[in-house]
């Protein structure tokens, strides 16, 4: 009888993890059947999702409260999908608030259903009590950070570190010279990678600051080439915005070219998130900025136990990547720090050394295939 796997991913990063897990499971169990919720990448692997996950990309406490009725409705829909699908195992990927509610709903309707959480909430940075909550709700945790296991195992939740696909990605085929040649950029032309976020809420708060900062740099450095990778729901609205610039940035849509661009870039201005790890892997020095709604930020600061937002800094235990959060995320503060990276080779070299050390602390191992390891654990649990 075919293995039936119910997957739930509510954000683009989880969608990518889910797609990788689906591919790895199909390689081992060709007859596996999938159901659940995911995005476009999981759809390419054969998942028929009941609704668009973009409405679940929610940041901040206030935004979460406002979206609560919609989230409750969607949780009920996902639980109904699972009841009809009758899975052997449910794998709930990232998105702590949403997937926790889904896990609780699934256990309420089918208490003996095997429920696996893929990606832990970052209890070492905030709200350590979530470890106990998760341990009471799911049966196994697939962790992508070596920091996780002690917290969750102490709470009684079996945990397997499978590695982080973002960290373990092989960059053997990345070629910065190819990018510069393709776009007629001289070897010494400074390139700034601009990454203002992948969620509508991030673009609303972060993009205007990043745009003003970058356009100021372009005025003072006429040779500066700005490149913006675009993907997902925000791609077209952002492309329209960028087209209105006095000197429109170069747009990259292909994933391979994105990594070529990161490796070719002199430095980056990035919204805090997964992309900072991708930049670090490419050896691209960066400055990080971020903004939440005012009340959300006020409340979050009451529960955060680390002074940094960027995971690279958390891993190192110091600020190697300059961070400008909330009221500090303004052009007057961002611009001089970016300008130093653009013009000072020594500053870039120092940060590259720090990025390599941070990646090692986060468990980077290019020999490891995290999706394959996750698939093996799922199959062992269901055997």
- Do 244 and 290 belong together in one domain? yes
Q: Are residues 217 and 307 in the same domain?
A: yes
Instruction: Please check whether residues 252 and 124 belong to one and the same domain.
Output: no
| Res 302: pLDDT | 53
Core vs surface per residue 65-89: b (16+ CB within 10 A) or e: eebeeebeebbeebbebbeeeebbb
d(CA 128, CA 121) in angstroms, rounded, equals 9
Same domain, 212 and 97: no
356 and 373 share one domain: no
Residue by residue, pLDDT tens for the chain (383 residues) are: 899 999 999 988 899 999 999 999 999 999 999 999 999 999 999 999 998 887 776 544 445 556 678 888 999 999 999 999 999 999 999 989 899 999 999 999 999 999 999 999 988 777 889 999 999 999 999 999 888 999 999 999 999 999 988 788 778 889 999 999 999 999 999 999 999 987 777 888 899 999 999 999 999 999 999 999 987 777 888 999 999 999 999 999 988 899 999 999 999 999 988 899 999 999 999 999 998 755 554 445 555 656 788 989 998 999 999 999 989 999 999 999 999 999 999 999 999 999 999 998 888 888 889 999 999 999 999 99
What's residue 299's pLDDT? 47
For residue 285, give the nearest of 227, 356, 348, 350 by alpha carbon.
348
Same domain, 13 and 140: yes
Residue 57 is predicted with a pLDDT of: 62
185, 159: one domain: no
Q: Which domain, by its residues, includes 129?
A: 4-163+368-382
In this structure, the answer to whether residues 158 and 11 fall within a common structural domain is yes
Do the beta carbons of residue 203 and residue 54 sit within 8 Å? no
φ/ψ region of 224 (left if φ > 0, alpha if ψ in -120 to 50, else beta) reads beta
d(CA 16, CA 20) in angstroms, rounded, equals 6
| Calpha distance 13→276 (Å, rounded) | 13
- Cα separation, 132 vs 151, in Å, equals 9
Asked whether 274 and 13 are in contact (CB, 8 A), the reply is: yes
Domain for residue 331, yes or no?
yes
C-alpha–C-alpha distance, residues 150 and 155, integer Å: 9
Please give the order of strands across the beta sheet that includes 250-252: 250-252, 225-229, 191-195, 267-271, 286-290, 323-325
**C-alpha dihedral over 46, 52, 54, 58, to 10 degrees?**
-110
Structurally, the chain folds into a number of domains equal to 2
Per the domain annotation, does 244 fall within a domain?
Answer: yes
Paired tokens of 8:
């739930």
pLDDT at 61: 43
Q: How far apart are CA 141 and CA 309, in angstroms?
A: 24
| C-alpha to C-alpha distance for 351 and 344, rounded to whole angstroms | 11
Output the pLDDT for position 353: 97
CATH number at residue 285: 3.40.50.2000
Identify the burial level of 223 via C-beta atoms within 10 angstroms of its C-beta, where 0-12 means exposed, 13-18 middle and 19 or more buried: exposed
Q: Do 23 and 145 fall within a single domain?
A: yes
DSSP codes joined into one string, 307-344: S-SSHHHHHHTS--S-EEEGGG-SHHHHHHHHHHHHH-
Can you say whether the dihedral through the CA atoms of 250, 253, 254, 260 is positive or negative? positive
The reported pLDDT for the residue numbered 12 is 86
Task: Based on the fold, state whether residues 206 and 297 are members of the same structural domain.
Answer: yes
Cα gap 261→60, rounded to integer Å = 31
Q: Does some domain include residue 171?
A: no
């Amino acid at each position: 009888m075919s293995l039936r796997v119910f997957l739930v991913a509510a954000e683009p990063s989880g969608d990518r993890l889910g797609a990788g897990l689906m591919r790895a499971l199909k390689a081992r169990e060709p007859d596996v059947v999938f159901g659940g919720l995911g995005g476009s990448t999981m759809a390419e692997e054969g998942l028929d999702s009941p609704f668009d996950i973009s409405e679940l990309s929610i940041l901040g406490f206030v935004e979460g409260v406002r979206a609560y009725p919609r989230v409750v409705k969607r949780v009920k829909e996902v639980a109904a999908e699972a009841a009809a699908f009758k899975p052997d195992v449910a794998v709930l990927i990232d998105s702590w608030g949403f997937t926790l509610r889904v896990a609780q709903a699934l256990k309420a309707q089918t208490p003996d259903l095997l429920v696996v959480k893929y990606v832990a909430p970052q209890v070492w940075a905030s709200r350590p009590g979530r470890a106990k909550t998760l341990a009471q709700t799911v049966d196994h945790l697939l962790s992508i950070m070596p920091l996780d296991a002690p917290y969750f195992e102490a709470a009684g939740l079996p945990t397997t570190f499978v590695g982080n696909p973002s960290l373990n990605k092989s960059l053997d085929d990345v070629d910065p010279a190819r990018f510069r040649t393709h776009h007629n950029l001289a070897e010494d032309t400074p390139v700034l990678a601009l990454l203002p976020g992948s969620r509508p809420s991030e673009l609303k708060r972060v993009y205007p600051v990043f745009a003003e900062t970058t356009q100021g740099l372009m005025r003072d450095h006429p040779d500066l080439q700005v490149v913006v990778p675009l993907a997902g729901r925000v791609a077209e609205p952002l492309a329209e915005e960028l087209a209105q610039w006095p000197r429109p940035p170069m747009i990259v849509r292909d994933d391979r070219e994105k990594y070529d661009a990161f490796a070719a870039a002199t430095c980056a201005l990035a919204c805090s998130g997964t992309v900072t790890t991708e930049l670090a892997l490419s050896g691209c020095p960066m400055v990080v900025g971020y903004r939440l709604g005012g009340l959300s930020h006020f409340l979050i600061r009451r529960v955060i136990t680390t002074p940094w937002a960027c995971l690279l800094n958390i891993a190192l235990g110091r600020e190697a990547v300059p961070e400008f959060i909330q009221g500090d995320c303004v052009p007057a503060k961002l611009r001089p720090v970016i300008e130093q990276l653009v013009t000072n080779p020594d500053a870039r070299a120092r940060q590259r050394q720090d990025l390599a050390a941070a990646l090692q602390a986060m468990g980077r191992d290019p020999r490891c295939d995290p999706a394959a390891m996750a698939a093996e654990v799922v199959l062992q649990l269901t055997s």
